[in-house]
C-alpha cells in the first residue's frame, strides 16, 4: 500500500498526523512506509492536485472523496470534519477505515 502525506513547510498539523498514521499502522500490524511529500510552490500544488496541508493519499487517492474531484489547489491549511467539529487532522477512525480499505483492496 502506498501512503503519502502531503504538506507544506511549517504546517502545524503535519507532525501530529504523521504520528497518528504511524500509530494506526502499528495498531494494525502494518509496516508500510509513509512517503512524506513537501509541496513548495503554488505551481507544484496545482500540478499534483494538492488541496491543502496536511493531506493523505492511499494508493494515489485522497482519503476524502470530495478532494478527488477538487478544482482548487494551493498552499493552504486543510480541515477535516470529525463528527460535528472541524480539525486539522482526520479522526483516528477515518485513518483506520481508509487503511483497512486499502488492505482489503490488496495493498
Question: Which pLDDT score is estimated for 75?
Answer: 97
Tell me which residue has cell 478544482.
Answer: 71
Domain containing residue 10: 3-104
Q: 39: left (phi > 0), else alpha (psi -120 to 50), else beta?
A: beta
Which pLDDT does position 84 carry in this prediction? 86
pLDDT at 11: 97
- What integer pLDDT is reported at residue 83 of this predicted model? 79
Residue 21 has a pLDDT of 96
- CATH label of the domain that carries residue 90: 3.40.30
| Total count of domains within the chain | 1
Digitized pLDDT (tens) for each residue of the chain, 107 residues in all: 999 999 999 999 999 999 999 999 999 999 999 999 999 999 999 999 999 999 999 999 999 999 999 999 999 999 998 878 899 999 999 999 998 988 777 65
Read off the pTM. 0.92
- Round to whole Å and give the CA distance between 16 and 61: 21
* E strand intervals along 48-96: 55-58, 61-62, 80-82, 85-87
Specify which residues 57 forms β-bridges with: 4, 62
Amino acid at each position: 500500500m502506498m501512503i503519502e502525506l502531503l504538506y507544506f513547510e511549517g504546517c502545524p498539523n503535519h507532525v501530529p498526523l504523521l504520528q497518528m498514521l504511524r500509530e494506526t499502522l502499528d495498531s494494525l500490524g502494518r509496516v508500510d512506509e509513509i512517503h512524506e511529500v513537501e509541496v513548495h510552490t503554488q505551481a507544484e500544488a496545482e500540478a499534483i492536485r494538492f488541496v491543502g496541508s496536511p493531506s493523505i493519499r492511499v494508493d494515489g487517492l485522497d482519503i476524502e472523496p470530495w478532494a478527488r474531484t477538487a478544482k482548487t489547489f494551493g498552499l493552504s491549511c486543510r480541515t477535516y470534519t470529525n463528527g460535528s467539529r472541524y480539525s486539522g487532522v482526520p479522526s483516528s477512525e477515518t485513518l483506520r477505515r481508509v487503511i483497512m480499505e486499502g488492505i482489503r483492496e490488496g495493498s
